Amino acid sequence: MNPFPYSSDNKRYYTWNHYLKLTFGSKVFKVPLDAGFSCPHRSIHGTGGCTFCSTAGSGDYAGNRSETLKQQYDEGYEMMARKWPNAMGIAYFQAYTNTYAPLSQLKAIYDPFFDDHPCIAVAIATRADCLDDDIIEYLKEKNRLKPLFLEIGVQTVHEVTARRVNRQENIEDIEKKLQMLRSAGLNVILHIINGLPDETADMMLDTVRWVAKIAPFAIKIHMLHIIKDTVMAAQFDKNPFKILTKEAYVDIVVRQLELLPSTTVIARLTGDAVKEDLIEPMWTLKKVSVLNDIDKEMVRRDTWQGKSYEG
């Protein structure tokens, strides 16, 4: 018998799919969009940024920024609806940092999706350092009109790693901003990455212990992807570092899930990379296999999300 209460699909963790079905009453999918943003530490020529980030700003499956956002959404929704014809869509602003602009520009982009648009919710991927008081207040107002999910990249709590991958944010500043977002009542989804250069399993567990103290609405856990034409790809080619095996990744994820509050939604446990651009690890391309192995290992250990949570 599955001991975990927050799952309708026999998982031992609080699945995103379970949350969406409970909240909206049907299948829901995200429609990824590219609103033409950049990031605060990329140049106007696209150089800089986090060393692991693709030239598409981690929006490799987002829409074509040469098209209008309406065109992107309509085309993306139509494609997804072929698989789930009765499902509803979330407008997902995925590529780059989607609050890196003056408030007036953000209003022009986001207001139409909250005021008169068929999407049932809006998800915005951004960085903590691109959320000032005025932007947070604006997002708080929008959240009253339609559900808003704010996705914040953290990746690691370890400053030595953050410097190595050129994050250009410190964890204390991120914590302060997350407290402001909590006070504003916004649903925050934190992103972390396992397998960053020279991080040990204990370091990755420390990152999740920090997340557990924050107790966000949701978390996304990714395996590091080394992508062609990135700074990290060049570094890896010159000085290869250890890549987690699938078995090691599964072990770490299971232990991370044990440390998280049972009420934190697990929005993702592995990432998607474009096959032609992926250098390592190739095992991540078999996404279903990775997820199945996590499920099997949780059953084998008779464990579940929150089993070791110390909140």
Q: Report the percent of the chain where pLDDT is more than 90.
A: 84
Average pLDDT over residues 35-62: 74
Q: Strand 218-223 to strand 265-268: parallel, antiparallel, or no bridges (unpaired)?
A: parallel
Record the tokens describing residue 111, joined without a space: 């207001």
Q: How far apart are CA 143 and CA 165, in angstroms?
A: 33
Environment class of 300 (CB within 10 Å of its CB; exposed 0-12, middle 13-18, buried 19+): exposed
What value does the CA radius of gyration of the chain take, rounded to a whole number of Å?
19
Residue with more model confidence, 273 or 103: 103
DSSP 196-220: -TT--HHHHHHHHHHHHHH--SEEE
Q: How far apart are CA 204 and CA 214, in angstroms?
A: 16
Q: Report the percent of the chain where pLDDT is more than 70.
A: 95
Q: Are 121 and 92 in contact (CB under 8 A)?
A: no
* Strand runs labelled E in 18-99: 28-33, 88-93
Which of 52-61, 87-96, 190-199, 200-209 is least confident? 52-61
Q: How far apart are CA 264 and CA 17, in angstroms?
A: 13
Q: Which of 172, 109, 106 is nearest to 137 (CA)?
A: 106
User: pLDDT-based confidence at 1, cuts 50/70/90?
Assistant: very low
Domain positions in the chain:
16-301
Residue 180 Cα to chain centre, angstroms? 20
State in words which class domain 16-301 has: alpha beta
Record the tokens describing residue 47, joined without a space: 């150089």
pLDDT tens by residue, 163-211: 999 988 999 999 999 999 999 999 999 999 999 999 999 999 999 999 9
The reported pLDDT for the residue numbered 168 is 86
Q: How far apart are CA 194 and CA 203, in angstroms?
A: 9
The reported pLDDT for the residue numbered 292 is 97
Record the tokens describing residue 60, joined without a space: 């490799």
Q: Which residues are CB-neighbours of 187 under 8 A, at least 6 positions away?
A: 143, 147, 148, 149, 150, 217, 218
DSSP state of 243: -
pLDDT tens by residue, 233-263: 999 999 999 999 999 999 999 999 999 999 9
Provide the whole-model pTM.
0.94
CA atoms within 13 A on the CB side of 39: 28
* Strand runs labelled E in the chain: 28-33, 88-93, 121-126, 148-155, 187-194, 218-223, 226-227, 265-268, 278-280
User: pLDDT-based confidence at 116, cuts 50/70/90?
Assistant: confident
What is the overall mean pLDDT for the chain?
A: 93
